[in-house]
Amino acid sequence: MFSLKGKTAVVTGSGSGIGAAIADAFAQQGALVYVAERDEASGQQTVARIEKAGGAARLAVLDVTQESACREVIQRVLSENNGRCDVLVNNAGVGHVGTILNTEPADLERLWRVNVLGDYHLCRAVLPSMIERKAGSIINIGSIASVMGMESRFAYTITKHAVLGLTRAMAMDLGSVGVRVNCICPGRVQTPFVEARLREYPDPQEYLKQLVAPHTLKRMAQPSEIAAAAVYFASDESSFVTGSAYLIDGGYTTGK
């Protein structure tokens, strides 16, 4: 079940956190994974870890805000794999804390360029090959902020709503040609980024309680729990799933 053997996948923002967990899980299931990461050192660490575990991975240094760079990476993947890129995971993303009143235009533009235009650039680059082959799975990493408003996350909520809109629009347009597009919407996930944020607070344990409290399961997710869903959406077993907003939120949105 959920074998990815023979598939080629690109995972953005896969130097750490959710992206790294997805890259690891894809490789464990037999995929050749292109670790598309802006930070070369962290991307190489993911590649080395996958190879040490017996998987196949290649590094692709990528800033998703650069359209030409996105095209070049996808073209490289296609040229190295007989025109195939079976799976694209748009995971790269950034956040911002603030309401509309303390979110500057530059803040909103930064999040838009990474969280939305990055997905747009890569989808535009890979879709012609997927359409030609009448096959492909695009997995966008959204958030609970894709389906609800979040306090003091003005720019983040806007952009993650847009990621879900992008997902649904593409699913409508591409279903007839065999390309599936889905969105995974995690709650709070215990990534290195979140752990670093915790250490910035005078009382990390108290802040951790605040982060955990809205989840019915009373904990944050582990990156591997998000990766498990990505494996499903990348696999042939999800062949009748497209346009989905798949919540992995520990009950955060229950009752909302």
Residue the block writes with tokens 């649904």: 168
233 near 4, Cβ under 8 Å?
no
Residue the block writes with tokens 């080395």: 48
Marked catalytic residue, from 34, 156, 246, 252: 156
11 near 26, Cβ under 8 Å?
yes
Q: Quick one: CA dihedral 141, 217, 220, 211, positive or negative? A: positive
CA distance 66 to 62: 8
Please count the other Cβ atoms lying within 10 Å of the Cβ belonging to residue 193: 14
Asked if 201 is an active-site residue, the reply is: no
CA distance 13 to 88: 12
Q: Annotated active-site positions, please?
A: 156
